[in-house]
Every structure is written in C-alpha cells, then in structure tokens.
Amino acid sequence: MSIEIQSIAKQFGSFTALDKVNLKVETGELLALLGPSGCGKTTLLRIIAGLETPDGGQILFHGEDATDTHVRERQVGFVFQHYALFRHMTVFENVAFGLRVRPKHTRPNNTEIKRRVHELLNLVQLDWLADRYPAQLSGGQRQRIALARALAVEPKVLLLDEPFGALDTKVRKELRRWLKRLHEEVHVTSVFVTHDQEEALEVADRVVVMNKGRIEQVGTPEQVYDTPATPFVYQFLGDVNLFHSRVHGGFAQVGEHPVAGDGAVAYVRPHDIELLREPAPQTLVAKIDHVRAIGSIVRLELSLENGDPVEAELSRDAYAVQRYASGERVYIRPRSARVFAEDYAI
C-alpha cells in the first residue's frame, strides 16, 4: 500500500515539529526517515500511524484519504525501540496475541493461529524460542519477536521507530542486514526511523533526510550520499572537509567544479582527498599530524599551513603502498567535491 503525505504540519505550542511535509512512500518499499534528534521523524511516523493528529495536511493510504481514520483501522504494525513484549506471555503467545484479539468473524481458529505463529517465528528464525518468556531472550531476539508480532496481523504498513536503537553495535549491524533480507521476503510497505546514517544507507530503498521539521532530500542511499542536495545532507551523512574559496583561493579548481568568487565552499569527503608527495597545480600544502588505523581504513589527520584541520582516509592497501608518517609534509587536492554558496544556511 502506498502512503502519500501531503503538506503535513504539526506544532507543539509555538514549536514547529513538522513544517508542511510532502512525501510519497511507494508500495512495498522500505523507506528510512533519517535526521538528528528532534527533527520530527517520530512525529511524522506517529502521524502516519494515526497516534498523533496533524494540524494541517492530509495522509492518503492507497490513494484514499486516511487523515481521520482511527489507528485501529489503518492496518499498521509497529516496532518501537522499547516495545515491551508481554512479560507474562511466552514468545508464542506474544506473537499470537494480535490474532486472538481480532473481531470474532475474522479471528482464525487455534490450528490456524498455531500454523501462522510458527510460520512467523520461522521467518524471524526464532521458532526454537517459542516457549520462552521475554526475560529469557536477548535484546536482539526480543526485537525480532516484536517484529514477528507486528507482522502477525498482516499489516498493510510496517512502522519501525529506532527498532535497534537500544542494542549494541554488533547486534545492531546483524539485525539491520537481517531486516533488509526479511523485507525483501515480505515486501510490506515499511517506514523506518533512525538517526544513524549508516543504518539508513544500508537498510533503506530510499532515504528521507530531515532537519528541523523539513525534508532536505529524498533519494536512494547512493543519491543522498554521492550527490547531497544541501550542505546539511552532506554533513549529516558522513565526515566532510570544508574549503572556503575566500581562504583557500589557490585551491580554486576542485575537480571539475570551479570554486568561483569569494563566497563558495567546497565540501570534500575524507576519502576524496588525494595525497601527493610532490607539489602539483591546485594543491595545498599540509602536514600529517596523526595516522590512525581504524579497521579496514587508515585515517590521516592533517593541518594546512594556516592551521585548518583536514581529514583524509585511505584503504589499508593504499596505505601499505604509501606509508605516510606523522610529521611528514604532503600536498593535497580533492578528487571530487560539491560546492555550495558560503551563505547557504545549515
């Protein structure tokens, strides 16, 4: 089922949580709402769910106005960060719950419930935990059961609010891959809230980058990462070096982008900083202050002649060939960059 969000506005007192937001979620896609704390992601998700009423605008489910439809009639499933399972019920009963409380005429019989619950537990690969109680599960297992429970009632839309937010990094990473595979199997229209850019880029079909109650960009993970529409998106999606044309006049040509005039800023990702040992046109002199190996990459902290810091990143392999050392003098230039006007508000 597709969801159309048309000019949705929400105020909390004088605070604008959502400023006339427009967005279309396509049928079957997994969309991530990404942005810093307080940007309005959860509010938008709650409005889609029907848990919060917008002050203006409309929501269409499958082309039909659902703005005033009650949460129970929207056929949405939820998974929240701390979506407590019922503690006194087994895993099996937790998943069965939504089916057992259905109105009589749509309630499946016990055999059917059993079949359906085991099917879902198999889907989340936890059928072997059916008789356990929530307290006997790990955090990651609990969230997978919460997801099975949300899917039990065959929702038309699945809404996930930081579902892995409370888990440690390793489990989080496993679960997001798992969620992506699960979504490829189930293909229910899903909206996923996160403030973790890596999570959004890895899991989502499309990413919606939000800031201060507005949408800055909507695009595939590649689009938002490689061609950020605004300085905010650029900075939010990864580390970045800023070169002001006013300061670094000699650095005026950045790849194919001329940094014209006074008020331009070139945004360059650390892995797009090229290091040279000999001077070349359009390079800046830099000193290597620190070299740090972080997993599969090597990060170099440099400073320019005026003291401005610059970060560069190399693969371990590239580093093994070049062997830069701290204290060394190098020449840098960007391989690619995006240029925005200096007065572009972030």
> Smallest distance from the beta carbon of 309 to ligand ATP, in angstroms?
29
39 in contact with ligand ATP (CB under 6 A):
yes
Half-sphere exposure of 340 toward its Cβ, with a 13 Å CA cutoff? 18
Query: Which two tokens mark 39?
Result: 């940007």
Nearer to ligand ATP, 41 or 333 (CB): 41
42 in contact with ligand ATP (CB under 6 A):
yes
- Residues 8, 43, 158, 207: which binds ligand ATP (CB under 6 A)? 43
Stretch that binds ligand ATP, among 30-38, 145-153, 228-236, 287-295 (CB under 6 A): 30-38
- Sequence-ordered list of residues with C-beta below 8 angstroms from that of 134, at least 6 positions apart, any chain: 84, 85, 86, 87, 89, 91, 94, 142, 145
Measuring CA to CA, how many Å separate 318 from each of 268, 298, 299? 19, 9, 12
> Smallest distance from the beta carbon of 149 to ligand ATP, in angstroms?
22
Q: List the one residue out of 263, 45, 273 whose CA is nearest residue 161.
A: 45
Q: Are 172 and 81 in contact (CB under 8 A)?
A: no
Instruction: Say if residue 37 is exposed, middle or buried (CB neighbours under 10 Å; 0-12, 13-18, 19+).
Output: exposed
> Smallest distance from the beta carbon of 36 to ligand ATP, in angstroms?
7
- Residues 3, 41, 117, 234: which binds ligand ATP (CB under 6 A)? 41
Stretch that binds ligand ATP, among 33-41, 139-147, 297-305, 315-323 (CB under 6 A): 33-41
Three-state SS string over 24-92 comes to: EECCCCEEEEECCCCCCHHHHHHHHHCCCCCCEEEEEECCEECCCCCHHHCCEEEEECCCCCCCCCCHH
> Smallest distance from the beta carbon of 40 to ligand ATP, in angstroms?
4
The footprint of ligand ATP on residues 163-202 (CB under 6 A) is 195
- Residues 21, 23, 35, 300: which binds ligand ATP (CB under 6 A)? 35
Q: Are 77 and 49 in contact (CB under 8 A)?
A: no
34 in contact with ligand ATP (CB under 6 A):
no
> Smallest distance from the beta carbon of 32 to ligand ATP, in angstroms?
12
- Sequence-ordered list of residues with C-beta below 8 angstroms from that of 126, at least 6 positions apart, any chain: 91, 141, 144, 145, 148
> Smallest distance from the beta carbon of 16 to ligand ATP, in angstroms?
9
Amino acid letter, 161: D
38 in contact with ligand ATP (CB under 6 A):
yes
Q: Are strands 257-258 and 253-254 parallel, antiparallel or unpaired?
A: antiparallel
Nearer to ligand ATP, 17 or 66 (CB): 17
Q: Which residue is nearest to ligand ATP (CB)?
A: 42
40 in contact with ligand ATP (CB under 6 A):
yes
Query: Which two tokens mark 81?
Result: 């960060």
Nearer to ligand ATP, 44 or 242 (CB): 44
> Smallest distance from the beta carbon of 23 to ligand ATP, in angstroms?
14
Query: Which two tokens mark 286?
Result: 């830099």
The residue count for binding ligand ATP (CB under 6 A) is 11
Q: Are 266 and 242 in contact (CB under 8 A)?
A: yes
Nearer to ligand ATP, 16 or 67 (CB): 16
- Residues forming the site for ligand ATP (CB under 6 A): 12, 17, 35, 37-43, 195
